[in-house]
Structure 1
Amino acid sequence: MSTEFTLQSGGYRAVITARAAALRVLQFQGRDLVVPFPEGGPIPDYRGIIAAPWPNRIADGAYRFDGTVHHLPVNEPDRGTSLHGLAFPLDWELKESDGGSLTLTCTVGPTPGYLFVLELSARYVVDDAGLHTRLTALNVADAPAPYGVCPHPYLVAGSSPLDQWVLDFAADSFLEVTPDRLLPVRVVGVEGHAFDFRTPRAIGTTEIDHAFTGTGFDGGLARLSLRDPAGTGVGMSWDESCPWLQIHTADKPEPLPNRLGLAVEPMTCPPDAFNSGTDLIRLEPGAEHTAAWSIYAL
């Protein structure tokens, strides 16, 4: 059985696993706010993990950084990509905890394809306003490192099917991707497109597995809301460290469970940023980077 930690406050209950520092359960007054996964087993579909030192995909597992070509293991063989970083298979270590907060740490690298060394620290806090996460990366090596991060929760608005959930987030553009490998093509405006959720509306049968950008930050935070027609809902906010947002409607072919929740992933950079360089963080020796996000009941 894997190690896990429970945080409770203000009607919220969060369960975090040492493996991947993953959010296994988040409930408000007994209602699921994320798609959970069973205790002690594998983590399906990257639910609740922290994807670092890159979010999403790197094409062919290959990239060039400071003149050197690196080759990562390909862990998404059907698309020929390296997916969701290197931190998710690791068992993170407990640094500190109390009833309402928890800090887990891990070291990423050096490893084939990523010869850099980062110390990651994930701090989780539960209070009356929800679950708050702050992820800090510190470069402890003597060379600059490429870096990006995102969380990977699947949000649950309520008991109605996902198609009926009403989605609201203010991104004005999305990243068009290739249909076979989901690799970047170009940034496209959402105006007149099925991906325009700047006015709240039901998701319907729309299938989404795309990154969005051009999100407004009000008071330093961007926000997304997801509401069930029965009256319940869930919200997520994130800070300006994450100018990109991956949305995925969790579409699965039969007989797999289909559209169980909406993956909402605030990202510091878009897919394949290790190759494009778009919003890629260059973490200098001794430097650190922090990203923060929250999930809460509506």
Structure 2
Amino acid sequence: MSNRHTISQTSPDARRGITVDLLNRGAAIGRIQLHGMGRQRDIDVVLGYASTEDYDRDPFYLGSTVGPVANRIADGKVALASGTFSIGINEPSRSNALHGGELGLHQQLFQPSPTSDAQSLTLSRQLPHLSDGFPGNRLVTVRYELTDATSLQCDFAATTDRETVINLANHAYFNLGGRLADHEFRTHLEHFTPVNEQSIPIGTIASLVGSELDFRQWRRLGDSVLDHNFVLRKDNKLQKAASLRLHDTQLQLDVLTTQPALQVYTGDGLTAPFSARAGICLEAQAFPDAPNQPGFPSIVLTPGRTYRQRTIYRFTELSDH
């Protein structure tokens, strides 16, 4: 069984194209290569390792599907009707379970579907009851599809045989071909969730207006340190959440999603073989610590229902004007 799979798509006039490498481990994105776009004409816009084996020791969730519950859970505690469940704390300095804990999806081997084609791939993973601390025998599925020569669509799905919690996201680090400080960033959102010293939301939703996080208009990232959750509309319809652009390479990335929130992380914790702030994560997901925050949208999944979320990474070329 191959550990790396490639999907690709070319425009009808063959002038543009996109090639994406996908990995079994973590159902991860290993490469997004753009062809015929921007000044470099051929560029990989996500951080990745040189070999598949390097992902076995990856501490940064590079390109991975993170979960079963992405982001942070305070004290690793999840309270459900059937009881309270403990998830391994893997952010000890803050006493949090992060991205599913030590046994999260980022270190799980997914099974590729034998029915994949040149433009799409489906990867799935069975999670036994309590194998990672979370309840339920669960089936997690991630489908990647190149809907055209400039767009990667990610569809997340999950089912369970007993009440559990699910919050899936992708953790790719994007860089459009230059210093992160020179990238410009814009959210298409109005609110965020303030956090305490442990980076856990305090339970309120605040306006971006007048805050350091007010990226409602294009702003250069500069030395801004972001690891914050931005709030989307509550209608679960596909909407544009944020955009990233770099004039030096004439490239722009738009993130569209059905998820209720977007965690933006400027990669300040990256170390060798990368450098701090080598890329930015735009993690479409549910709210952090949702199981312990009654005022936040629920991430509870019950038997007979299917969790479904969609995120699209769409690339465009900037004009010279």
Q: Which has the higher strand share?
A: 1
Residue matched to 1:61? 76
Gaps of 5+ in 1: none
- The TM-score, its normalising length taken from structure 1, stands at 0.91
Retained in 2: the 8 A contact 1:105–1:120? yes
Give the secondary structure class of the aligned counterpart of 1:184. coil
- Asked if residue 272 in structure 1 is aligned to residue 293 in structure 2, the reply is no
For 1:101, the equivalent position in structure 2 comes to 120
SS at match of 1:88: helix
Residue in 2 that maps onto 1:222? 240
Residues 124-155 of structure 1: CA deviation (Å, up to 9, x unaligned): 1123232111111122x1x2222212111111
2:308 to 266, 274, 290: 290
- Counterpart pick for 1:129 among 150, 159, 162: 150
TM-score, normalization by structure 2: 0.84
Residues 200-211 of structure 1 correspond to what in structure 2 (within 5 A)?
200-211=218-229
Matched with 2:14 is none
Deviation per residue, 1:2-47 (Å, 9 max, x gap): 7110111121010000000000111101212222223221234111
Gaps of 5+ in 2: 11-16, 36-41, 317-321
**In the alignment, structure 1 residue 28 sits paired with structure 2 residue 34:** yes
CA contact (8 A) 2:60 2:270 kept: no
Kindly tell me: are residues 94 and 9 of structure 1, through their superposed partners in 2, closer, same or farther at Cα, counting changes over 3 Å? same
CA distances 1:85-132 after superposition (whole Å, capped 9, x unpaired): 222211000113121111111012312521212111111112323211
SS in 1 for 2:140: strand
**Distance (Å, rounded) in 2 between the aligned partners of 1:62 and 1:3:** 33
Maintained 8 Å contact 1:225/1:233? no
Partner of 2:98 in structure 1?
83
Q: Give the Cα–Cα distance (whole angstroms) in 1 for the partners of residues 93 and 50 of structure 2.
A: 26
1:182 maps to what in 2? Answer: 199
Indicate the SS of the match to 2:205: strand
Kindly state the Cα deviation for residue 178 of structure 1 after the two structures are TM-superposed: 2.1
User: Judging changes above 3 Å, is the alpha-carbon distance between structure 1 residues 218 and 97 closer, same or farther for their aligned structure 2 residues?
Assistant: closer
| Structure 1: distance between partners of 2:290 and 2:234 | 21
C-alpha contact 1:156 1:233 (8 A) present in aligned 2: no
RMSD (Å), alpha carbons: 2.2
Paired residues of 1:215 and 1:222 also in contact (CA < 8 A): no
Aligned-pair identity in percent equals 25
Q: What letter matches 1:225 in structure 2?
A: S
Distance 1:55 1:136 in 2: 14
One-letter identity of the residue aligned with 2:6: T
- CA distance, structure 2, for counterparts of residue 234 and residue 50 of structure 1: 23
The residue identity in structure 2 corresponding to 1:247 is: V
Contact 2:270-2:277 within 8 A present in 1 as well: no
For residues 208 and 134 of structure 2, the distance between their equivalents in structure 1, rounded to whole angstroms, comes to 35
Give 1:146's aligned residue.
165
Q: Is the CA contact (8 Å cut-off) linking 2:256 and 2:313 kept in structure 1? A: no
Question: CA–CA distance in 2 between the matches of 1:59 and 1:108?
Answer: 22
- SS of 2:118's partner is coil
Alpha carbons 2:263, 2:282 under 8 Å: kept? yes
Kept in 2, the 8 Å contact 1:167–1:201? The answer is yes
Letter in 1 for 2:26: A
